[in-house]
Structure 1
Amino acid sequence: MPIYVYWGEDDFEMQTAIFRLRDRIVDAQWLSFNYTVIPATQPEAVIQGLTQAITPPFGAGSRLTWLVDTTILQQCSADLLAELQRTLPAIPENSVLLLTCRNKPDKRLKSTQLLQKFAQIQEFSLIPPWKTEQLIDKVQQAAQELNVKLTSESVQMLAEAVGNNTRQMYNELEKLRTFAGFDSKPIDKTTVATLVSNNTHNSLHLAAAIKDGDSPKALELMTQLIAQNEPALRIVATLIGQFRTWLWVKLMSEAKQDPTTIAQAAEIANPKRVYFLQQEVKGVCVTQLVSTLPVLLELEVNLKQGFEENSILQTKIVELCQLFR
């Protein structure tokens, strides 16, 4: 009874994993019979999926039933829970049930606890934009997977250009691989700067503009981020994470702590990055950094209360910039 639960916001990585699972277990010649996709919008979607999952496959290979954007990991009625308890153990070995959702499964729910017993659960969450080391590692892993040779500088440049957009990262690496052809030399940063689209202004650039007290630039970056459909709450989460990191670095640097200790306290994976963070906060004081957090937390609360995004973002960004003048 193979059962899988995929969750997270990285749609590209999840989709890639789903297609790999499908291609591995479903015979291509019997795909139209043994591969069923059931959106959550369909009536009785979960019941329909469970009924399909316990049906043996036709012909060769196995059956894959995919419940898209299911809500049973966030809410589940008693009747539906009873159906899950009855059906999950009865799914045959040559039938696979896949459940996907964007939100983290609620571990308090009995349906989630039941699936934890029967299913393989895999997370596909986006790397927070401020965790630059993880983004660089992600680019390095993808480059190795696609056999694209990059210098360390070009890896960092590509990570800065694409941020946590996994789809764009793979697209840009494919472009670089095509350009390199059979050349065995690593692709340098000049080539990356020429070929890679870097019109994605991420929230870290916005944080830097705020720290510099540059209101016009900060407002321009905010407008571009919203135009790129970057969720306002995700922008705020990045700003909070970055200013907290800067605050830790500044506090502990003034306390004469060594880079390794600072890295551990600020949750920085690579202690060598502490030096660069110290340079970034060299011209600001602890009081200024501390003052940003109440403003950012108030902004987060306002957004969750339904305030108009552009208006409240503009107001609070200007207020934040004034702290550094």
Structure 2
Amino acid sequence: MAVVSPAGTAGSVAWLDALRRRCGHDVREFVEERVREHFGGRAADTPAPEVLPEFVSGGKFLRPVFAYVGWRCGGPESAVALRAAASLELLHCFALAQDDVMDGSARRRGRPSMHVVFSRWHREKGLSGSADRFGESAAVLAADLYLVWSEQLLRGCGLDAAVLARGWPVYDRLRSELAVGQLGDLLNDARALPSWTDVLDVIRRKSGNYTVRRPLEFGAALAGCEDHVVAALGDYGGLLGEAFQFRDDLLGVFGDPAVTGKPAGDDLRERKATSVVALTAELADHRQRGELAELLALDVVDEEAVVRWHDLITATGARDQLEKFIDDRVRRALEAIDLAGLPHRPADALGVLARQCTERVR
């Protein structure tokens, strides 16, 4: 099944939306098939057969879309290439499920996190042992399944082995960078006030490369794109990936829960050393550093503390500075694409994606 590719910016928006819908359909169908194949006995009585397919729904499918746009920089419209790109969504589900366990996040995409669902089921069944421990363990195992299924979907997508061979090195690098970046994120506790340089390094590894750059390079590698095209996509991806994370960090502090699916100030409650916190520390004057120290020393970040954080972040200029960083990186990313001479469809789509990834509400 070929993917429809209408012309123009409005057409690119529709084209990207169609890609997301197709990816969503392919990924959910694949997970449902794996659940029917593997789940029986006692495991079938857990929430897993319902949770595993449900968890893959409702995402933005950014990584598969970027991968497919990378493919279109040198390859034709292709349903099998889109399935290869869709495998990255299962890798993302692996990362999300584990990330929620590590962060202790109660909600994901407006719904209870996976480990919360498993813990609740354990309590309702009156099983022995720690319900929280069970929930976390079950979520980690579910994440492991997504990791295995991601590679399985890629191997069986329908692309020739020689084509897939071009993409494996990027796919492996993406997965390794994700894990190393996550470890760095664990080390960057807000109370330790990591430097802006350290936080930016984690952003580049865990988000910038993982979300935009490597997926683009993965798709371009599969398509056999020329070196100058891969280099331009890498420049665009690195810059836009940083801008994407800056926006995500701002939403984690100031975002509307109805839009983000998480409580306002959730990153502050979890004491994440995000770009917002790091830049606030960098820009704070003597008096503001005193206020910052008090907030970092709090045992519990309640609603009043969140308001104090908002006031401090705004007063230091960190919020405005991050907005400037976002605008600057988007501008430079688009310049990299303009200079590369890409085909119209992927070039126009990358412009649309740059706006969609960094809009103030998403």
TM, length-normalised to structure 2: 0.30
Q: Which has the higher strand share?
A: 1
TM, length-normalised to structure 1: 0.32
By relative contact order (CA 8 Å, sep 6+), the higher-ranking structure is 2
Larger radius of gyration: 1
